[in-house]
Amino acid sequence: MQRPSRLTLAVTSACNCRCRMCSIWEQNSGTVVTLDQYRTIFSSRSLAGVTNLSLTGGEPTLRKDLQDIVVIAMDSFPRLTQLSLNSNGFAPALLEKQVQKILSVQGSKCQLSVGLSFDGIDKVHDKVRGVQGAFSRLSDSISRLESLRKSGSLFGLSLRCTITTDNVHQIRDIYSYCCRKRWPIIFAVASAPDAYISAEGKRDLFALDEEKLESCRVFFLEMAPNNAYYSRAADYIKNRRRTFGCIGAERRAVLILPDGDVMPCGERSRLLLGNINDQPFDEIWTGEQARKVFSTIRQDACVACPSQCYPTEKRLSDDIKPLLKAILPAPVIKSLQRLKLNIPTAKR
């Protein structure tokens, strides 16, 4: 059975912003997975191959023992090489302190990457984030982290913009602004998941109409020649279908929420695999509910998923299959298919 290589931990649902496209801050129950629980989870055989750990929330820097979670992960995952921290940048001093703490324990084999939410310039960002002064605080966070990097701290830094009705008019200005600052930024149209951040009920506050979606598609196509991500994003807007593979559907990624829920991703609540408060992680990953979810996930959820996250990496077989299809006789291809090599046959 496939084991996940990517583990995402939503370490808290607490948040110091009030984003219009997210309701996680409204749901904060104070319940979190404890350090002892993480230690047990990380020792699971099913997670022995984790190479990529992502820390998110809520706002993960609000968790006082964040450094301890990283220490346990470093001790538990010998193959861990990538560590990412996703933050809204609203508390500059706290973010800087947490990044320094993580850097002090991550070790030389692991590369930290910090991703900050950048959803507009000045008041536009404040509106999206639902808090006055959010842009000023974010700018301070970026300056602090840039100073850390200049002083010799080695970590990646990038920005992410979630496109909503509040900032869609500004996306080109945002891109130009970040280019002048030499800040790498990536754009994504806000989705409306009914799990994790539970934004489905707020769709009317942020969702784009067809005209605005088309303007995003044009913008993405302009970016596409240098970035396959934007090619996929533009293609989804045009066809409303996800046409590329998902590592979540292939059991190579898993998400653990603050309340202990385990899911391949946070888009749909029907993808719930179980809860670590009720079962050990290994039992959840190999259990009957997981088998049911993964047997139908592509047709049930992935095909209509608007997210560009979790793309399947291009494999050598992706290049070989069309070649074999072109040069091998149809009976041979059919024989190979019976051997479950999954080589497509030509249409007759």
Burial class (CB in 10 A: 0-12, 13-18, 19+), 53: buried
pLDDT value of position 113: 97
Tokens 């749909």 map to which residue? 268
pLDDT value of position 330: 64
pLDDT value of position 206: 87
Identify whether the C-beta of residue 161 lies closer than 8 Å to the C-beta of residue 167. yes
Residues 6+ apart with CB under 8 A from 53: 6, 7, 8, 9, 73, 77, 80, 82, 83, 84
Distance CA 193, CA 201 (A): 9
> CA geometry: angle at 198 spanning 90 and 232, to 5°?
85
pLDDT value of position 135: 98
pLDDT value of position 319: 41
Distance CA 182, CA 253 (A): 31
Distance CA 154, CA 225 (A): 29
pLDDT value of position 311: 76
pLDDT value of position 77: 97
The token pair at 117 is: 């939410």
Identify whether the C-beta of residue 95 lies closer than 8 Å to the C-beta of residue 140. no
Q: What is the DSSP string of 181-238?
A: HT--EEEEE----SSTT--GGGHHHH---HHHHHHHHHHHHHHGGG-HHHHHHHHHHH
> 92-103: buried (b, 16+ CB within 10 Å) or exposed (e) per residue?
bebbbebbebbb
| 3-class secondary structure, 133 | coil
Residues 6+ apart with CB under 8 A from 128: 19, 20, 21, 119, 120, 162, 164, 166, 167
My answer on whether omega of the bond before 245 falls inside 30° of 0, hence cis, is no
Residues 320, 338, 327, 348: is their CA dihedral positive or negative? negative
Write out the chain's pLDDT in tens, 348 residues.
Answer: 799 999 999 999 999 999 988 888 887 667 799 999 999 999 999 999 999 999 999 999 999 999 999 999 999 999 999 999 999 999 999 999 999 999 999 988 899 999 999 999 999 999 999 999 999 999 999 999 999 999 999 999 999 999 999 999 999 999 999 999 999 999 999 887 777 777 767 778 888 999 999 999 999 999 998 888 899 899 999 998 887 788 888 899 999 999 999 999 888 888 999 999 999 999 999 999 999 999 988 877 787 787 777 777 554 344 445 545 555 666 665 665 555 444 444 443
Identify whether the C-beta of residue 279 lies closer than 8 Å to the C-beta of residue 293. no
The token pair at 192 is: 């409306």
The token pair at 112 is: 């930290």
pTM given for the model: 0.86
| 3-class secondary structure, 281 | helix
pLDDT value of position 307: 78
Residues 6+ apart with CB under 8 A from 151: none
